[in-house]
Amino acid sequence: MEGVTMLATKAVVKELLVKFNPDVVILQKSKVSTVNRHLVKSVWSSWFVGWATLEAYGSSGGILILWKEDSITVVDSIQGQFSISIHWKFNAGFSGWITGVYGPSSYRLRDQFWWELSSLYGLCNENWCVGGDFNVVRWLNEKSSDACPTRSMIRFTSLIEELDMVDIPFRNGRFSWPPFRD
């Protein structure tokens, strides 16, 4: 059954890549421990695709950043415990950093995650885009129970403000759990 799920997931990703034709994409929860050209080609139908990966731990996590090599040149990359970052340059000259994150679900590891993001902020400077699954929310309406703000929620909001980040509103929770409706 797991093979069917993997094939269905690849088909959805491939369909979205064809529909939106992005230059860069971040896939989280890839659950893939080894990435090679064959796997990349099975998702993105081009031989001119580069990638950077943070391996999955068992059946959880994993981040895969894919980019079109004819549009983007990757200058450097940084792999952390909870993130993978690429320093890229559009062939037109604009450059920046893209970071894919998969935050820990354990609150005990969140301080390490916050520290990692703060350290990346110091390296990546102004043209920095961060995306992925932080495994923490900022607002009560994003939780399945509207109890009270947790320590992690408060710290996450503080971190976003400290790092001058912009929290883009969550849209289309079709693939999230619990299903989020906006």
Between CA 121 and CA 3 the distance in angstroms is 38
Query: How many domains are there within the chain?
Result: 1
**Residue 11 main-chain phi, psi, to 5 deg:** -65, -40
Q: Above 70 in pLDDT, residue 181?
A: no
Q: What is the side-by-side order of every strand in the sheet holding 128-133?
A: 72-79, 83-90, 95-102, 128-133
> Confidence band (pLDDT; 50, 70, 90) for 139?
confident
| Rounded average pLDDT over 172-177 | 56
Which pLDDT score is estimated for 121? 93
178 preceded by cis ω (within 30°)?
yes
> Confidence band (pLDDT; 50, 70, 90) for 174?
low
Beta bridge partners of 100: 84, 131
Could you tell me if residue 10 is inside a domain?
yes
Between CA 9 and CA 3 the distance in angstroms is 10
Could you tell me if residue 66 is inside a domain?
yes
CATH of the domain at 36: 3.60.10.10
Q: Above 60 in pLDDT, residue 2?
A: no
Could you tell me if residue 87 is inside a domain?
yes
- The model's pLDDT over 31-79, given as tens digits with 9 standing for 90+, comes to 666 778 888 888 887 778 999 988 876 666 789 899 999 889 999 999 9
Domain that holds residue 99: 2-135
Could you tell me if residue 144 is inside a domain?
no
pTM: 0.82
